[in-house]
Structures are given as structure tokens and as C-alpha cells.
Amino acid sequence: MTAAPRLRSRAERHANARFRLGRLNRLALGLALLGPALSLGGCGGPDPAQQAVNLSQGVPIGAVLALSGNANVYGQDQNTGLRLALAELNGQGGINGKPLALKIEDSGSDEPGANAAFSLQINRGVLALIGPTLSQQAFSADPIAQRRGVPVVAPSNTATGIPEIGPFISRVSAQSSVIAPLSIARALELHPQIRRAAVFYAQDDAYSTAETTIFQKALTDKGLKPVTVQRTQLNDQDFQTQITAALQQKPDLVVLSLQAVDGGNMIRQLRELGYKGAIVVGNGMNTPNIYPICQKYCEGILIAQAYSPELQSPANATFLRRYRASQGGAIPPQLTAQAWTALQVVAEALQRLDRRQPLQQSSVAQARKALMAEILSGTYQTPLGEIGFTPSGEVIQKDFFVAQVRMAADGKSGRFALLP
């Protein structure tokens, strides 16, 4: 009987609701007032950007990757690429004898996470940032780096308009408008009978909306105006409604601009619901992490890529050797190659800058500004082939490829097989 007085009736609980709401309002007001006060408090102390570059722990570089949340499938690939590149670069002497000190922060898979991680890294005094993983995050976090004058090299943002965020923003990931049409052209070569295309994309994701525009234009240019355009939402997993609506239009080509987990589920559900035609997917599914999701149904999907393991170059050979040694002989995915490339670009630009003007003689702000100019002015021999940058920070890349997924007989593992 001891508990009886502590339990309350439904009517009492209801009567307390208004009181609790009142308290919630006061709590919200308190937090609203506290926020600016804390911000003001944070304004005290010296500006870290005006202090000399601190090389006591090495040359400070930051990376912000989606290591958790729905986009973690990309972040894990990128994490591998950065760590392998770091080992390789530091093994070769780092920045003229000073080791690179790379700090990687998890952004989650959303914009607030990316903003917080960017701010944290910038306040640490990093000279450049690599990331964030998603274009959607970049549109939110890159302006922070731009305002604070910190160079950003994006390893995987493909949406239109990323370098245009500002002069401190660049990317090594070719934008969708360059890559996406290649897979459509190849699908039509392989399946000339295609007449009816269905398009799916996540309407609340910057990458998806940018890429689908390019896909739809490429289809229309080939005389294939989509017979249906189905919209999903980021992190949707059940697509029965959209798929059954699309299948009523009897498509013989499906084009997906979705993130990896969503896209893997979409492919599985498309095939389970009887769709037998060709499937072209966008860059969001450019990761082997889709294999466990769509499993045997991944077989045959077409994808354009900015990296080929078969590219013959010393830089790619080094990357392949490092990757295979660490991953049991596996074939590296594009995102890993691009992450390696991003760190390589930053490191080589730092080496040139440091030779011309030793880093320890500059303030953090001066070093950041000079580094950005150095990044854009260089040409780099990378696993992606030779790359450079336009003055606005857009990557200039020569080699692109179209691959088709080939799954192993057990349906658990697969590979992106390059099409000749």
C-alpha cells in the first residue's frame, strides 16, 4: 500500500497538464534568454584566428564526416580514405617534416550536427576543413567556414552551387551535372528498347533534388520525358505507395536520386514488386554499403563514377596498395578515393605554402587565406587522375566511368564492374 499515495488519478494528471505547460513555457523562455547570454559570454578572450599557427601537435587539419545517422554509410568509407591518406602522407614526411594532425569529428547526418562540428574544428584552429559528407549539410555548414575564412575541401558534395557558397569553398567531387548524364547514355546504349522512364528522388535533400534535375534533363534530351516523377522524403524506407503508383505507368527504366540506405531499400522493393527493367542510380548510391541492403537485387544497376580502381597511375597504385592491405584485398569505393584525394590536396598545398612561407611565422588567419589560394592554384596527381580547380573552387577532372553492380552468388557481396 505504500505506493498508493504517490499514484495519481487520470483527472489529477489532466489537471496538472496546464500547470506543466505553464512551466514548459517558462523553461523555454529561460532557455531563450540564456542562449544569447551564453553567446555573449563566449565573445570574451583572444580570437584564436589571430594567434600564431600552433604546430606543437602537428599541422592541424579538421575533417567533418557523417559517421552516425543515415549517411554513416558514406562517412565510414570516407573515414577509411582519410586515415589511409594520413598514414601515407605522414610516412612520406608530412608537411616538410612536420606531421599532419588530422582530427575527425562526427557530424551525424544532419545540418545541426555539421554546423556544430565545423564550429568546433574552426575554434580549435585547424588550417583547413575536409567535409561535410552531404551536400545538404554543406549548404548549412560551409557558410560558417566561409565567414571565418577557413578553406573547405569537400570530398563528396555533388550538388550544384557548392563552390559558389564562397571563395573559401572548393571540392574534389565532380558535380552531378558532369557525371549523371553518362549513366543515362550508357543505359540507353545497353537497352535501346527503353521508352518509358520513371524517376524517384528525395525532395527534402539538396543532393537528390540537384541530381534529379540533371537526370530528368538528360532523359528529356534523349527524347525520354519521364512518365512519372515520384517524390520521397529523406530517411523514408517504405516505398510501396510510390512504387505501385510508378509501376502503373509501366516504366522500362527507373532512375533514382536517393541516399544509399533509402535507395537500397527502393531497389529491393522495386524488384520485389515485380519491376524487371533497367535501374540507373545516382552518386548517393556510390558505395558498397548498398550491397547488404538490396542484396541480390542490386545486380545490374548502373552508376556513373568519378573513380576507377583500374586507372593506371602511380597515385592510384599507392592508394590501391594501402587500401587492399587494410581491407583484406577489397576494391576501394569512390568515396574512399575522393576522401584520400581531399587530404592529399590539402597536404600538397600546405607543403608548397610552408616552403614559401613557414607556417609557424603566420597567424592562423593568414595561413588559412594563403592556403586557400595555394589549393586552387595547384595541379594534383591523385587516385582520381590529374585534377585541378577553377578559380571558384570547382574541381577539374578528366576521367569518368560507368559501372554496373555485379553481385556474388550468395547475394551478400558485390562490386562495381566497369563497363568498357
What residues make contact with another protein under the rule CB under 8 A? 1, 3-16, 20, 23-24, 67-70, 72-73, 75-76, 202-204, 228-233, 235, 237-238, 240-242, 244-248, 261, 264-265, 268-269, 271-274, 289, 292-293, 295-297, 411-412
Closest approach, Cβ 107 to another protein, in A, equals 12
Would you say 7 or 409 has its CB closer to another protein?
7
Minimum separation from the CB atom of position 278 to another protein (A):
19
User: Which cell goes with 19?
Assistant: 500547470
Instruction: In whole angstroms, give the CA distance from residue 304 to residue 309.
Output: 14
* Residue 299 beta carbon to another protein: minimum distance, rounded to whole angstroms: 12
C-alpha cell at 407: 553481385
**Cβ distance to another protein smaller for residue 76 or 160:** 76
Tell me which residue has cell 594520413: 86
- Which residues have C-beta within 8 Å of that of residue 252, sequence separation ≥ 6? 191, 193, 194, 195, 196, 197, 277, 278
Rounded distance between C-alpha atoms, residue 218 and residue 209, angstroms: 14
CA–CA separation, 98 vs 351, rounded Å? 10
Q: Which is nearer to another protein, 235 or 381 (CB)?
A: 235
Cell of 380: 594534383
Q: Select 201 or 401, whichever has its Cβ closest to another protein.
A: 201
Closest CB to another protein among 23 and 147? 23
Q: Nearest approach, Cβ of 205 to another protein (angstroms)? A: 10
Cα gap 62→74, rounded to integer Å: 17
Going by C-alpha positions, the residue among 221, 143, 224 that lies closest to residue 191 is 224
For the bound state, the minimum distance from the C-beta of residue 7 to another protein, rounded and expressed in Å, comes to 4
Residue 344 grid coordinates = 592529399
3-class DSSP assignment, residue 366: helix
SS3 166: coil
Residue 276 Cβ vs another protein, minimum distance, rounded to whole Å: 12
Nearer to another protein, 199 or 345 (CB): 199
